[in-house]
Amino acid sequence: MYEGPSFLGTNAKTSALTSSLQLTYREHVLSGGSGGDEGVLEGVLTLASKTYRITCHQQSKWKPSAQACLPVLATLRPFAHDK
């Protein structure tokens, strides 16, 4: 099992978004801003044996949660191209 890079720390969560798409991530909240606090999701996305570092933000005056990013990330697919 892929543990993720050290920048995620020991409280990282892992989610299988699809059968070929795995996300290891952590969430935190940034305070302030005119639109309220900001939920931040940072992680490592593994797709088709490639690894990508991702960051997603969601701002809300009430309860920010970057969990809103998960359905969007689950739609990613590898791009096939001619070499």
Its pTM stands at 0.72
Instruction: Give the span between the Cα atoms of 64 and 37, in whole angstroms.
Output: 6
Q: How far is CA 40 from CA 30, 68, 80, in A?
A: 7, 10, 30
Is the pLDDT assigned to residue 71 strictly greater than 70? yes
Residue 73 sits at the vertex; the CA angle it makes with 22 and 55, to the nearest 5 degrees, is 90
| CB distance 45 to 54 below 8 Å | yes
What are the helix (H) ranges across 1-83? 69-73
- How confident is the model over 27-56, as pLDDT tens digits? 887 777 777 778 888 999 888 788 888 888
Half-sphere exposure of 10 (CA within 13 A, CB side): 0
